[in-house]
Each structure stands twice: as structure tokens, then as C-alpha cells.
Amino acid sequence: MATYDNPVISGFHPDPSVCRVGGDYYLVCSSFEYFPGLPLFHSKDLVHWRQIGNVLDRPGQLPLPLPGAKASGGLYAPTIRHHDGRYWVVNTNVDGGGTFVVWAERPEGPWSDPVWIDLPGIDPDLAWEEDGTCWCAFSGPEGGINIARIDPAEGAVLEGPFATWSGSGLKYPEAPHLYRIGQWWYLLIAEGGTERGHSVSIARGRSPRGPWEGAPANPLLSHSGTARSIQNTGHADLVRAPDGSWWMVLLGVRPRGFTPDVHVLGRETFLTPVAWDEEGWPVVAPVPERHEAPAGAWHPVPAVPARDDFDGPALAPHWISPFARAEESWSLTERPGRLVLNATGATLDRPGYTFVGRRQQHHGCRVTAEIDAGAGRGGLCVRLDEAHHYELDIGGGQAAVVARIGPLRQTVASRPVPPGPLALTVVIRTSDLVPASPELTGGAATGPDTIAFWLDAPDTPGARPLAELDGRYLSTEVACGFTGRVIGMYATEGTVAFDWFTYTPAAAPSA
């Protein structure tokens, strides 16, 4: 019997929305302040996913940097649907512009420029009636779910918006999705906030306008108050497989460490089966760490490449940058076979710097990159936001590990380095953690992981890291916000070049 492990898309990939076209599934996630925006995945079996692009992958689709951009701002909670031969994505830019729709003939793109819709709120959804009438449900600014009849191609609001269902009574009813299933319309929402109280609820009615009857078993799904290793379960979407089975994709987190536990990878994408009871209500069991796989042939796909030698004509779709990626800030042709970064800001502590990174997707991992900083200053950074990041910085003949934690910026360790290329390594591990101070739990480790920075190869006998830091300070529970860690390359002075970059997951022991 084939089984799958959760999450099915690890790392910072929240708010998943999915649609099926024939035997193909397509899934899109939130990207917040990062560009390119809205990562797009393809699967044949709901388990093995490959990123095939980003919905918003060119500056002309949105003003960049995002107006008023801030960490955990930007692009919230997209929905992807297929209708009348087109793929549609509806989304909200909370930092400027509001709600918009883009479309494509092929999921690989190109995607259209945004068509803006004058609707307030967040988390928009698209659903069509058989006669082509299009409805957009969304989380309204006053709380509760709103709905409007729209023309998505023109961006016109034809009727509404008007208030509809407000959930079962938990806070922040949001993330609506409308479905026509049999003779009923179902309205699936998230409630309880996106923290430990997150949950999924559902209602049904005979029309998209309502009135709505909530399921007697609401919330359908919540791990709140349980000891399960997967928490914050919510913001779900439903999809029907070719064999008639139903599945739910949703977000969740995997917290670790000493109480109250923290999560560092962000909200990830999970998969769980859905059954239907005799009264026509969906039944969802707790999200499993491992479960029997969907029926049918499996289609394993390559994971995100472990190594990038920057030999291609463009950056792979998993490379992201905060707020923008100015054309003059990077090049793959200036020194062929290398990623050249040109500084656009002098510090990582405020927006406007040059940074190219990828999501941390495993609790334990190792990242190594070769840098030539002879014409500038740069290095490797583990980033949550401008006030929470660790840097391994090379410049002026010195290597330094710098920690930015809230208002504190401190050089933790430094040493001279010779000119020429250097291999920089970050090792993140979940065992042999940095201990806390004696005042906390008698000196026992309290963080979820340790982040070590190396100039020498970690496998060299006798080698020691330049510094080891507690990972809890780069967690969502400390930094706040909606994102997860991103590990990447940066430049803060002049020009630096990276010959290659490797990301290697490590088996993470249980907490």
C-alpha cells in the first residue's frame, strides 16, 4: 500500500488553493512580500509537486517594489480555478491596489496583467454557475464573508457585495471557497485565526446567495488543544480526484522546541482525505503525518535541485527576493556561470537591498555557496524579516557572523579571510542545540534548532564553526508575521559573484 508523508509541499508555502484539469492538478500559494509572486505547482497525484513557475513573474504585472511594502505584507491568499478554457487566479495585494484577477491559457503562462476589481477585503475566491455567472466570495473588512457577482475579465462588480455567512462563531472568518456539489452550494471557510486555534468550517445552501446552513459538526477540522505534531490547521481548499475521491489541501505548521513551541519553516501545505456522511456533509479526520496515498499511478517528480551552478538563461522559479528584484541588481551573463549581485542597499535591516534566496524546507539542512567578494561585500543570510536575520558576511578581508534580533544588531564572531573565492556554509540542525542560559530550564536547550556558520568545510576533522546561534530568534513566534525562513545570497557593497549554491536536507530527529 502506497503512503505519503505530510507536508506535501514543505517550507513557507501557505494558503494553498488547488484545481484539477483532467489528470493534472495545479496549486498556488501566498508569497507575501517576495518577488516573483504566487508560486505555482503541478502534480499528477496530489502528493508529488513540482514548481512550474510563478503567476506574477514580471515587474509589469505589479508595481515593484510593492507600494508601502513591509514584511508579511504584499500578496495574500490566492485562489486558482479553471473555467471556459482559461486558468484564473484571484488575489489581493494588501499593500496597494487591492483585489485583482489574472488569467492564462496555459498554467505555465504567460499570465495576463492584473485586472483590478473594486472589492474590499482579502482572500478572494472565484466560482461559476452553469450559465457563466461568476461569484467572488471574500473576507470582508468588517469581518465575516462577503460575496459579489462580477465580470472577472473586465473587473466589473455587477451586484453586491453583500454579507453572507459569518461562520460558527470563532474569530476571523476568512479564506472562503464556493463549490457546487450535487444540488447544494457549499461555502468552506477558515476560522479561529491562523495560529493554534485555526480551523476549517463549512455551510451549504441552494444558491450562492445563501441562506447558509452551517454543518452540525463545525469546525470540520482543527488541531487546537491537541498534542499533534501538526498544528494551526486551516485555510483549506477541496478537490475531487478522477476516481471520485475527495481531498483537502490546507496549511499547517510543525512547531518544535521548549514550550510554547515555535515554528521556523512558515506555514506549509498539507493533504488529507475527505469523506461524506449520509446527510451530505464532508467529514475530515485529523491531518496525518503519513497516510494512504490517493488511488492511481504515482508520478514522482524531481525535488527542487540541490545544486544550482547558475548556468541557465534565467533564475529557476524557486529563487525569490524581498519586495522586488531590480534588473540592475543581478546578472547571469556578466560573468557566465555565476550569479552576480550588485548592491542596491547598504544593509539588510531595511528594504531596498539585493538578496536572492530560497525557502528553508527542512528542519535540518545544509547550505553552501561559493562567493567572490573581491569587488564588494556580501554573503549568506538566513532571513525572516528586516529585524530578524543572521548573516555570514564577507568584505574588506574579514568574515563576520552578524545577528539582528529586534532592536539588537551584533557582530557575534569575525576573523580575517584571504582574497579570492570562499565557500560559505550554513548548517541547521535539530540535535546538540545551543543551550539556554542557566536561568532558563537549568541551561537546557530551548530552541527548535541551532544555526551554525562555517568558513571551513564542516566535514573537515577538527573544523569548528565561526559561530553557532539559537534558531528560536528566527521563528514566527518571536518575529511575528506570516512567512517562514528564506536562506539566500546578498550584496550590500559593490559587486559580488556566486559560482554555485547547494541546499541539502538532513534527516531531522524527532523533537
Would you name the residues annotated as active-site residues? 15, 174
Q: Which amino acid is at 279?
A: E
25: cell is 492538478
Contact 14, 235 (CB under 8 A): yes
Output DSSP code: residue 262.
B
- Burial bucket for residue 52 (CB in 10 Å: 0-12, 13-18, 19+): middle
Distance between CA 28 and CA 53 in Å, rounded?
10
Distance between CA 325 and CA 33 in Å, rounded?
11
Number of Cβ atoms within 10 Å of the Cβ of 387:
17
Distance between CA 43 and CA 305 in Å, rounded?
17
Contact 191, 202 (CB under 8 A): no
Q: Which helix (H) or strand (E) holds 31?
A: none
Radius of gyration of the chain (CA): 23
CA 370 remoteness from chain centre? 26
Cis peptide before 36, with omega less than 30 degrees from 0? yes
Phi, psi of 501 (to 5 degrees): -145, 130
- Burial bucket for residue 481 (CB in 10 Å: 0-12, 13-18, 19+): middle
What one-character-per-residue DSSP string does 217-240 give?
T-SSB--TTS--SSEEEEEEEEEE
Cis peptide before 211, with omega less than 30 degrees from 0? yes
Distance between CA 361 and CA 87 in Å, rounded?
28
For 9, 35, 76, 251, the CA distances from 175, given in Å and listed in that order, are 19, 22, 10, 11
